[in-house]
Amino acid sequence: MIIGEEIELKIEKIADSGDGIARHDGLVIFVENSCPEDILRVKITGVNKKWANAKIVEVLQPSQYRTDPFCPMQKVCGACQLQFIDYNYQLKIKKQIVEDAIHKIGGLDVEVKDVIPSPQIKSYRHKVQYPISQTKVSKRILAGYYKPKSHEVVNIKYCPIQPKICDEIIDFIRNRAFDFGISGFNEKKHSGDLRHVVLRVSKFTGEVLVVLVVNATKSFDRLNDFAKFIYDSFKEVCGVCVNFNSKKTNVILGTKTECIEGNGFIKEKVINKTFKIGASSFFQINPMTAENIFGFVKNYIEKNFENPIVMDAYAGISTFGIIVSDAAKKVVSVEENSEAVELAKETVAANNVKNVEIHKMDTQVFFENEKRKFDIVILDPPRKGCTKETLESVLRITKGKVIYVSCNPATLARDLKYLSEKGAKVEFVQPFDMFCHTVHVESVAIVNIL
Ligand SMILES: C[S@@+](CC[C@H](N)C(=O)[O-])C[C@H]1O[C@@H](n2cnc3c(N)ncnc32)[C@H](O)[C@@H]1O
């Protein structure tokens, strides 16, 4: 097979990258923007010993699962790879991605349940992070997601997966920044002011926190004036913060944030508790699915334990810990982000929760020094999952079950494999649709520590 060759093939399934997978002459072929059961003529764009990449030249017979995407930008914007696929079938694809990871990477014969759908599949995204750039000649600010597999900003004026107010605020920033002498970031030259705009919207109150991520180490008058102008222009904006990130990095937020106007947080209600979410503290982007997951974990604990002692590790604003505190004798929560820990402490006080102990610490360091045993350990690590040392400590401090919450099926499967090799037994995996129309999926695994 050679680059440029055209062949016909049928798509079998979707890979965790979002590309369709087909087979031809013993090679696996990855085809962008394709759907299982599509019959396609494709052009080979890259070849390796075991696999090749291809682009669609012609859809000879479209899959029954294709549908019209509701966003006109779907093909150019890299955010919603699966939006041209029927939503119920998207859920089947995600189940298969989790199953493939658990069975192939994890080597585990464990039940993966059907994916629990998102209660809302439009306007679900309550955290928006747009990279900013500017046009070469007219110096117009561009704000949107990157084109697939690139760092080229697609200027997005309307995005149906986020609340409408986000489009309005971003358009305002796009049009008015220039009046305050604020330029867009040039990634190649590492020049310009505004790198990202981050918005956090409360489902509960409708209020919006605006975070301007700037290529600077300290604030300056033009920026402060612009922040105040944004704050005064929208009744929904409850605060405007500036985050300083002058590093050459793909990480969006720098370590320092200043609140310029209003509050540095939004308030969000989850089940029966009200949380404060700040500029740099983690909270799930889809609050409706998040509530389903928190409810699922709380119900599971209520059904299977009486007055348990619970560890909430990688706790963020201690969301799991505070929500399950009603069903627990005691909760110990551990998180390394200072802002999240401060807000968690304020939430505990404001909700009159008496049985949650909060630590600002690295999880592994905390586990190593922990002498207590826990009936339940909730693990909700970042995408990279846990280290072997952390899993060893988890086995030592758990006397009942681990509830492992993960946004990455591959690292979840790797970590479940490790725990299983040490004698633990995975009961089941329950996926949830947190990131509708993308290939990403959130899962909760219940593990018995024997
Ligand atoms: C996926 S988030 C989960 C947050 C929280 N459980 C929730 O549902 O909102 C992972 C969290 O782990 C924190 N984190 C990452 N590495 C950590 C470490 N080594 N020790 C403690 N916390 C860590 C991050 O700051 C982040 O808040």
pLDDT along the chain (450 residues), means of 10: 95 94 94 96 94 96 97 89 97 97 97 98 97 91 90 93 98 95 94 97 98 96 97 98 96 96 97 96 97 98 97 98 98 97 97 97 97 97 98 97 98 98 98 97 96
State the sign of the Cα–Cα–Cα–Cα dihedral 275, 276, 281, 285. positive
Please give the distance, rounded to the nearest whole angstrom, from the Cα atom of residue 76 to the centre of ligand 1: 32
pLDDT at 19: 95
Cβ-based neighbours of 299, under 8 Å, separated by 6 or more = none
pLDDT at 297: 98
Phi-psi region of 428 (alpha: psi -120 to 50; beta: other; left: phi over 0): beta
Please give the distance, rounded to the nearest whole angstrom, from the Cα atom of residue 118 to the centre of ligand 1: 22
389 lines ligand 1 (CB under 6 A): no
Q: How far apart are CA 78 and CA 153, in angstroms?
A: 10
Q: How far apart are CA 69 and CA 37, in angstroms?
A: 18
> Could you tell me the two tokens for 392?
């060893």
CB count in 10 Å sphere of residue 76:
14
> Could you tell me the two tokens for 165?
């107010």
**Closest ligand 1 atom, residue 293 Cα:** 8
Residue 25, helix vs strand vs coil = coil
| Residue where the block lists tokens 């990871």 | 101
Amino acid at 286: N
Cα–chain-centroid distance for residue 271?
21
pLDDT at 174: 96
291 lines ligand 1 (CB under 6 A): no
Q: How far apart are CA 408 and CA 277, in angstroms?
A: 23
406 lines ligand 1 (CB under 6 A): no
Domains delineated in the chain: 1-66 (2.40.50.140), 89-120+286-448 (3.40.50.150), 127-270 (2.40.50.1070)
Contact (Cβ atoms closer than 8 angstroms) between residue 311 and residue 397 = yes
Contact (Cβ atoms closer than 8 angstroms) between residue 243 and residue 201 = no
Identify whether 71 is a catalytic site residue: no
Return the best residue to mutate from 275, 276, 296, 336 for the ligand 1 pocket (most ligand atoms within 8 A of CB).
336
Cβ-based neighbours of 445, under 8 Å, separated by 6 or more = 402, 403, 404, 406, 412, 416, 426, 428, 429, 430
**Closest ligand 1 atom, residue 381 Cα:** 10
pLDDT at 160: 97
367 lines ligand 1 (CB under 6 A): no
Q: How far apart are CA 99 and CA 413, in angstroms?
A: 9
> Could you tell me the two tokens for 397?
């401090």
Residue nearest to atom 11 of ligand 1 (CA): 314
Contact (Cβ atoms closer than 8 angstroms) between residue 34 and residue 43 = no
Please give the distance, rounded to the nearest whole angstrom, from the Cα atom of residue 380 to the centre of ligand 1: 6
314 lines ligand 1 (CB under 6 A): yes
pLDDT at 147: 87
| Residue where the block lists tokens 């007055």 | 307
Return the best residue to mutate from 280, 289, 298, 314 for the ligand 1 pocket (most ligand atoms within 8 A of CB).
314
Return the best residue to mutate from 282, 434, 435 for the ligand 1 pocket (most ligand atoms within 8 A of CB).
282
Q: What share of the chain is helix, strand, coil (3-state, %, to 5)?
A: 25, 30, 40
How many Cα atoms occupy the beta-carbon half-sphere of 338 within 13 Å? 3
In which element (H, E) is residue 94 found? helix 87-100
pLDDT at 394: 98
Residue nearest to atom 12 of ligand 1 (CA): 314
257 lines ligand 1 (CB under 6 A): no
How long, in residues, is the chain? 450
Name 194's bridge partners: 184, 214
Indicate the DSSP class of residue 104: I
Global confidence as pTM: 0.95
Please give the distance, rounded to the nearest whole angstrom, from the Cα atom of residue 134 to the centre of ligand 1: 33
Please give the distance, rounded to the nearest whole angstrom, from the Cα atom of residue 335 to the centre of ligand 1: 6
411 lines ligand 1 (CB under 6 A): no
Buried b (16+ CB within 10 A) or exposed e, 33-43: bbbbbbebebb
